[in-house]
Amino acid sequence: MADTEQKIEIPPEVFKLYDAYCHGDLSRRAFFSKLSTYAVGGLTVSMLAACVMPDYGRAQTAEGEPDLIEETAIYPSPNGAGEMSGYLVRPAKAKGKLAGIIVVHENRGLNPHIRDVTRRAAKAGYAAFAPDALHPLGGYPGNDDAGRELQAKRTPAEMYADFAAAAEFLRDHDATNGKIACTGFCFGGAITNLMAVNLPWLKASVPYYGGWPTAEEAARVEVPLQIHLASEDERVNAGWPAYEAALKAAGKAYEVHWYEGTQHGFHNDTTPRYNPEAAALAWSRTLDFFARHLA
């Protein structure tokens, strides 16, 4: 983390601007223009931007670690694109077949942070698979701005179908025992919610601050849900009461965890929205949930 970030108290409004920028509600030009409002007291726009942009050098795990087997796996796309690809990781010393975890990325493709999360899941004893929705467009381009632009060229329905196909691919893979769960973040949380609606054979679904299915779709959920939400995430949280009411009305199994004082993206340790205590607690709850339902 840069020294400037450690010394700067970032105004809450800057986090909101960054959230709007990340989700396509602000252009890059507008984001930097609006940051100028908070460039006071010796701060510059570039200093503020540096404080909120991701730093992928902070990964908790590294590629090429000897205790993991990592590979790029190709699987069929149901969208006529021919094929999809993803990052498949599993413990090197695993004995027998493993349960599997699908890890669904945010709205910018399979970036280094999601690859890191995938390795964490593998270190917990699972065959973890993170598909890249940008594969038909050349794959994650190496930076998030370009990744967001590319992902906007694909429809949500197309991408959902490719992620669902990835779950089936992992279920049928020689390395797994057919027991599959999923987790995802932001856009990936929305996909994870939909997978709980449409893939009743999944053993568990753990969405982090994602969008919500409809009330009609809630009635179709047959997969145990563990939901993680940030308290300071108005955009996502606005839809939760209606979806929770629909789950309750349909008698569906779910648990929800709120993390007070946290921002959208609090689990992502590459940005200042990261809250280490909340992220550690959420991940431990996620692994406990997987252990219960994938046993």
Q: Which residues of 20-32 are buried (b: 16+ CB within 10 A; e: fewer)?
A: bbbbeebeeeebb
Are 79 and 209 members of one domain? yes
Supply the pLDDT for residue 49: 78
Are 45 and 87 members of one domain? no
Supply the pLDDT for residue 8: 65
pLDDT tens-digit series, residues 152-204: 999 999 999 999 999 999 999 999 999 999 999 999 999 999 999 999 999 99
Are 33 and 158 members of one domain? no
pLDDT at 6 > cutoff 60: no
Supply the pLDDT for residue 25: 81
Look over the chain and give the mean of its residue pLDDT values, rounded to a whole number: 92
Are 242 and 263 members of one domain? yes
Structural domain of residue 190, as residue ranges? 57-294
pLDDT tens-digit series, residues 108-140: 999 999 999 999 999 999 999 999 999 999 999
Are 117 and 232 members of one domain? yes
pTM of the model: 0.91
Are 128 and 13 members of one domain? no
Instruction: Say which CATH number the domain at 201 has.
Output: 3.40.50.1820
Element (H, E) at 259: strand 254-263
Of 33, 53, 73, at which residue does a domain stop?
53
Task: Find out whether 169 and 130 touch, Cβ atoms under 8 Å.
Answer: no
The Cα–Cα gap between 184 and 199 comes to: 15
Of 30, 53, 76, at which residue does a domain stop?
53
Are 33 and 65 members of one domain? no
Least confident interval from 5-9, 28-32, 38-42, 142-146: 5-9
Of 37, 53, 69, at which residue does a domain stop?
53
Tell me which residue of 226, 208, 201, 109 sits closest to 159, measured CA to CA: 109
Tell me which residue of 166, 157, 280 sits closest to 228, measured CA to CA: 280
Supply the pLDDT for residue 174: 96
Are 170 and 221 members of one domain? yes
Confidence of residue 147 (pLDDT cuts 50, 70, 90): very high
Are 103 and 221 members of one domain? yes
pLDDT tens-digit series, residues 202-218: 999 999 999 999 999 99
Are 167 and 101 members of one domain? yes
Are 18 and 110 members of one domain? no
pLDDT at 225 > cutoff 70: yes
Neighbours of 155 (CB within 10 A): 10
Angle in degrees, CA 56, 272, 285, rounded to 5:
85
pLDDT tens-digit series, residues 76-112: 999 866 899 999 999 999 989 999 999 999 999 999 9
Are 42 and 69 members of one domain? no
Q: How many domains is the chain built from?
A: 2
